[in-house]
Amino acid sequence: MKNISKEDYLRIIFKHKNSDGEIKPNLIAEKLSVSNAAVTDMIKKLSHEGYTNYQKYKGISLTNSGETYARNMVRRHRIWEIFLNQVVGIPWDKVHDEANRLEHSSSDELINRLDELVGFPRYDPHGDPIPSKEGKMPKQKKYIALSKLKEGDSSVVVRVNDFDEKFLSYIAGIGIKLNETIKLLEKRDFDKSMLITIKGKQWNISEKLAENVFVEVKK
Partner DNA sequence: TAAAAAATTTAAGTAAGCTTAAATTTAAAT
Partner DNA sequence: ATTTAAATTTAAGCTTACTTAAATTTTTTA
Binding partner of residue 19 among DNA, its own copies, none, CB cut-off 5 to 8 Å per kind: none
- Residue from 16, 34, 63, 154 binding DNA (CB under 7 A): 34
Q: How far is the CB of 47 from DNA (least distance, A)?
A: 10
Residue 214 backbone dihedrals phi, psi, to 5 degrees: -120, 135
Contacts with its own copies, 84-103, as mask; x by CB under 8 A:
x--xxxx-------x--xx-
Three-state DSSP class for 37? helix
Find all residues with CB under 8 Å of 45, minimum gap 6, and list them. Answer: 6
Measured CA angle at 164 (ends 159, 165), to 5 deg: 95
Stretch that binds DNA, among 51-59, 74-82, 113-121, 141-149 (CB under 7 A): 51-59
Nearest to 124 by CA among 67, 165, 167, 178: 178
Cα separation, 104 vs 4, whole angstroms = 11
Binding partner of residue 68 among DNA, its own copies, none, CB cut-off 5 to 8 Å per kind: none
Q: Does 47 bind DNA (CB under 7 A)?
A: no
Q: Given the rule CB under 8 A, which residues bind its own copies?
A: 84, 87-90, 98, 101-102, 104-107, 110, 113-114, 117
